[in-house]
Chains A and B, each alone.
Chain A
Amino acid sequence: MSDSTNKTPDGKWTPRIVAFFCNWCTYTAADLAGVSRMKYASNIRVIRLMCSGRVDPQFVVDAFAKGADGVLIGGCHPNDCHYVEGNYKCLRRYQMLKRMIADMGIEPDRLRLEWISAAEGEKVRRVVNEMVETVKQLGPLNIPCKFEEWDKEMEALAGHVAHSQSAAGAACPDHAKPQTAQTAHV
C-alpha cells in the first residue's frame, strides 16, 4: 500500500497545510512576516487568490483529497474586504464546509479560517504555528491512501458479490471495514 503522507527525508511524518490567502490582506501580511523575518513552521503552502470569496469549497475538498493534512483560509477582517463583502461569502462557505468535512470523517479542526489584515504579520506567524501544532496533534489525514484502501475494498467486495451470487448478505452495510472471513459471515 502506498503512503502518500508527507515525510521528511529522515522518514518522520510532517503535516502539509494548503493555505488560500487573499491578495490584499493575508497574502500581504505573509509578505510582511517575511520582511520582518518572523520565523514560523515551513509546513504551509500558500496559494494566492484575489479574495477569500474566491475560495470554492471544491478547492478545500480537493486539497484534502490530494493529501493535505490541513487547510487554512486567510481573508480580510469583517468590513475590511477589498471587494466589500467577499470575506462574508467565504465565512458562510466555511461554516458549511466545517459540517461537511466532519460528515466525511475529517476532523473540523483541520480547516481554519482567519481574518488577517495586511499589518498583521505576527498573526500569520501565530496562526500558522498554531495550525501546524493542531494538525500534528491530529496526525496524518492521508485521504489518498484511504481512497486506495476503499478502492481495494470495493474491488474485493465486487469480487465477493460476483463469486457468491446467492449471498445477498455480502452487500452488508458494514462495507467500510475490510472484508475478512469474519465479517463475511455476518
Chain B
Amino acid sequence: METRKNEPVRIGFYVCHCGVNIAHMVDVEAVAKYVATLPNVVVSRNYKYMCSDPGQEMIQTDIREQRLNRVVVAACSPLLHEHTFRGATEAGGLNPFYFQMVNIREHDSWVHTDRLEATRKAMALARAAIQRVPHHKPLEVKKVPINPDVLIVGAGIAGIHAAITMANAGKKVCLVEKEPSIGGHMAMFDKTFPTLDCAMCVLSPKMATVGSHPNITLWTYSEVVKVDGYVGNFKVTVRRKPRYIIEDLCTGCQECVANCVYKEPKFPDAFNLGLGKRKPVYMPFAQAIPSIAIIDPEVCLNFKRGKNPDGSYTVSDKCKKLCVVACGDRKAIDFTQKAVDKEITVGTIIMATGFKTFDPHRTPYYGYGVYPNVYTALELERVINASGPTEGHLVMRNGKEPKRVAIVHCVGSRDENTNRWCSRVCCLYSLKLAHLILEHTDAEVYNFYIDMRTPGKSMEEFYNRVAEEGMHLVRGRVADVYPDPNDTASGRLIVQAEDTLTNRILKIPVDMVVLSVGLEPRPEAEDLRRLFNLSCSSEGWFLERHPKLAPVSTFTDGIFLAGCCQGPKDIPDSVAQAGAAAAEAFSLIDKGYVEQEPNTAFVLAEECSGCKSCIPLCPYTAISFNEETKKAVINEALCKGCGTCVAACPSGSIVQNLFEDQEIFSEIDGVLAPLPQ
C-alpha cells in the first residue's frame, strides 16, 4: 500500500460499445479521444464488448504492459458489471478497488435521444471518474461467516418445494405460514392444467413431507413481525398466533369438532370461500398439514364477542365446553393461549408469499355479488372439487345443475381500469374449467376471450385437445352481464359481448357465469416489502434484482423470491422458481461466508474533536466514544457503510472507504468541468 503511494498515477480508460447499445447514441471514439487528453491517462481505448473475455484480457494486458495502476471502464451500470471489472483489475495484478465504473448505458445512451448531447454527457461522466480514481486506495474485501439456516415465508407450492429442497440437502429450514394449514392456493384447485392431474393428489405427499421432515420447523398460523440484520445473519421475529389448541398435544382426531355445542356447521368456511360451512372449532380442510384443529374466537361461545384493542380475545367461560370433554386426557384445548413471539437467526430468506385473486366487485358490470349465479373461477374449483362444499356435484347456489355456462376471461387483467398485466394462467385454467364442466355436466360452455394465450410446454396441445371436446370459443371480451328480462324468475343471465371474428353482438342466455379472475399482489405485500426491505414493481409484485439474469434475487442480499409474490405464474414455473431460489440460497450458504463491500467508515483519531455529533446518527450503534482518548471510534464490524456520520462530522475527521470526500469532490469537479466544443 505504502509502496504505491508516491508512484505517478497511470490510468487506463476503456469505453464499451455494448454492441450498438451504447455506440448508437454515444460517439465512443470521440469519448476515448477526449479522455486521452486528460491528465494521468496513459491508455484510452474503445471496444465492442468490454465485459467479454477479450475485453477483460485487454485491461489485464494493459495493466502489465503499460504499468497501469488505475482502471476506469465506461459501460453499463456498476450494479451489473462493477464486479466483473474489479475482477479483471485484480487479475491484472492490481487491487480491485483501483477500479471505477462509469454508467453510460442505463444513465445515458438508453435514456437520451440527441447523440451529441449524450456523447458530451459521457465525456463529463468519464472525466469525473478519471479525476476520482487517483484518490482511490487499495482496500480489502471483508468476509463474514454465514448462518446456514434458512427462513421460508409462505407455504404454498413454492414455499413447500423450496423448503423440501433445502431440508433434503441437510439445511435447517423454518417455514412460516400465515394460514392454519400449508398448501396455499394449490390446495384449493381441483385439477391442474395441462396434465389434468388432481392438485391435491400431487400436493398432499409434499405437504406430508413438510409436516414430518426432521429439518423443517413448521410454524403455521404465524407471521413474521420483525426482521433485523443482514445477509448471513438475519434476526427474525415470528409471531405465533393462538389457535387455542396446543399443537403438540392435538392428534387431529377431530372429536372436538364432532362434539362442539354447535350441532351443525354454521359459519362460512374460508377454505371453501364461504360456499361451505364450518363450526367454531374446525379442521381447515381434510388434508390440512399440520393436522391440528383450530378455534375461531370470533364465534366460539367460550369467548366474549369482539377483539380487545391488543388483538386478543377474552374468555367468557359461558360454553359447556363439550369439546374439552371430548378431548379428554389429551388436554389439547387451551382457551387462554396467547400470541407468542419467537426469535430465530437465519442466514438466508426465501419469500414465497404468493398472490391474491382479483376481487370482481371492482368490475361491477359482471354482476358478481349481485347475481348469485356469478362465480369466480376459484369458487368453481371448490364447487367441482370432490372434497368441496357440494362434494364435487356441479350445482349452483340454487341447487340446480347449469345447462349453459359462460366463462369470462381477463376479469381484472389487461385492463387499465383494474390491473394492467396479463395474469398468465387464466386462459389455461379457463380451458381446464371448461373441460371439467363438460366432464361433470351436459352443459354448453362458452369461453369469452380476448386473446387465447397458451405458452409453455404442452399448453397449446392442451388447448387443442379441450377445444375438440366441443366448447364455444368466442373471441370477444364480455361487456355486460344482466338478468334475462324475458325470464326474471329463473335467475338466468344474459352475457353480452361482441363476437369480434363475426362482427356480431352476442347475447347469450346462461345459467352460470364464471369469472376468470386475474392474479394480483397480496394486500399485505406492501407491509412485507418494508419488513424485509425489498422493492416492489409499480404493480406491487416483489421486484427481482434483474428481470433476466437475477430473476429470483432481490436488491437485499440474502433474500430470494419464489412463486407468485414476484409475478403471476403457473405451478410448474412456481416450482422451478422455488428450486432456483433454493439453489441461490445454497450457493451463499455453501460458500460459507459473505463478502462485504469495504465501504465502511473510520475515524481519523488525530482530527476528531470529540464532539459526539456522529454517535446518535448511526442506526447500527457502530460508533462509540472512547472516554480515555476523548475520540469517537467506529466498530467496523457493525458499520454498514451508509456514510451518514461522514456527512455530519463537523471536523471532517470521518472517512468512508470508497466514498471519501476527496473522491466525491473530484467527481463533482469532473462532471462540471468545461468540455471541448
Contact = CB atoms under 8 A, between A and B. Distances in A.
Instruction: Indicate yes or no for A touching B, C-beta below 8 A.
Output: yes
Interface of A: 4, 6-9, 14, 16, 18, 23-25, 27-28, 30-31, 33-35, 37-40, 42, 45-51, 53-59, 62-63, 66-68, 79-80, 82-86, 89, 93, 117-120, 122, 125
B536 interface: yes
B500 interface: no
A31 B107 contact: yes
B365 interface: no
A51 B124 contact: no
Nearest to A24: B555
Contacts of A48: 78, 103
Given A18-B671, A45-B121, A45-B125, A83 B106 contact: no
Contacts of B677: 7, 9
Contacts of A37: 110-111
A150 to B, nearest CB: 19
A31 B113 CA distance: 16
A83 B601 CA distance: 14
Q: Interface SS of chain A: helix, strand, loop or mixed?
A: loop
15 contacts: A35-B106, A40-B111, A46-B103, A46-B107, A47-B128, A49-B664, A53-B644, A82-B533, A82-B642, A83-B644, A84-B620, A89-B647, A117-B536, A118-B535, A119-B536
B672 A80 contact: no
B447 interface: no
Given A53-B643, A83-B640, A89-B617, A34 B79 contact: no
Contacts of A31: 77, 79-80, 103, 106-107
Given A42-B118, A46-B107, A62 B665 contact: yes
A54 B112 contact: no
B79 A120 contact: no
A171 B120 CA distance: 45
Nearest to A51: B642
Contacts of A66: 668-669, 672
Contact of B648 (A16, A35, A59, A89): A89
Given A48-B78, A118-B535, A68 B672 contact: yes
Given A14-B117, A37-B110, A55-B647, 5 more contacts: A40-B111, A42-B108, A58-B661, A83-B640, A89-B617
A119 B665 CA distance: 29
A84 B555 contact: no
B530 A80 contact: yes
B535 A51 contact: no
Nearest to A33: B111
Contacts of A84: 619-620
B112 A49 contact: no
B613 to A, nearest CB: 11
A31 B646 CA distance: 26
A30 B106 contact: yes
Interface in B434-488: none
B498 to A, nearest CB: 33
Nearest to A35: B106
Interface of B: 77-80, 103, 105-108, 110-114, 116-118, 120-121, 124-125, 128, 530, 533, 535-538, 543, 547, 555-556, 599, 617, 619-620, 640-644, 646-648, 656, 659, 661, 664-665, 667-669, 671-672, 674, 677
Contacts of B617: 53, 89
Given A18-B671, A55-B647, A50 B128 contact: no
Given A42-B117, A53-B642, A54-B646, A47 B106 contact: no
Contacts of B671: 16, 18, 45, 47
Contact of A42 (B121, B642, B661, B672): B121
A79 B530 contact: yes
Nearest to B541: A119
A68 B543 CA distance: 34
Contact of B77 (A34, A39, A67): A34
Contacts of B112: 39-40, 42
A2 B422 CA distance: 58
A59 B648 CA distance: 12
A59 B668 contact: yes
B644 A39 contact: no
B674 to A, nearest CB: 7
Contacts of B669: 66
A125 B106 CA distance: 12
The 8 A-B pairs at the shortest CB distance, nearest first, are namely A34-B106, A54-B643, A53-B644, A83-B642, A45-B671, A84-B619, A51-B642, A118-B535
Given A118-B543, A118-B555, A51 B117 contact: no
A84 B667 CA distance: 27
A4 B672 CA distance: 9
Contacts of B659: 49-50, 54
Contact of B537 (A50, A55, A86, A119): A119
Contacts of A54: 642-644, 646-647, 656, 659
A8 B644 contact: no
Contacts of A58: 661
A34 B105 contact: yes
Contacts of B128: 45, 47
Contacts of A4: 674
Chain A CB within 10 A, most for which of B110, B543, B669? B110
A16 B672 contact: yes
A108 B101 CA distance: 32
A118 to B, nearest CB: 4
A43 B25 CA distance: 15
Contacts of A80: 530, 533
A24 B79 CA distance: 10
B255 to A, nearest CB: 48
Contacts of B530: 79-80
A93 to B, nearest CB: 7
Contacts of A86: 619, 642-644
A122 B538 contact: yes
Contacts of B110: 34-35, 37
Chain B CB within 10 A, most for which of A28, A30, A35, A40? A35
A61 B648 CA distance: 15
A89 B644 contact: yes
A63 B672 contact: yes
Nearest to A84: B619
A42 B644 CA distance: 29
Given A89-B644, A119-B535, A63 B555 contact: no
Contacts of A93: 647
Contacts of B124: 45
B672 A27 contact: no
Contacts of B537: 119
Contacts of A7: 677
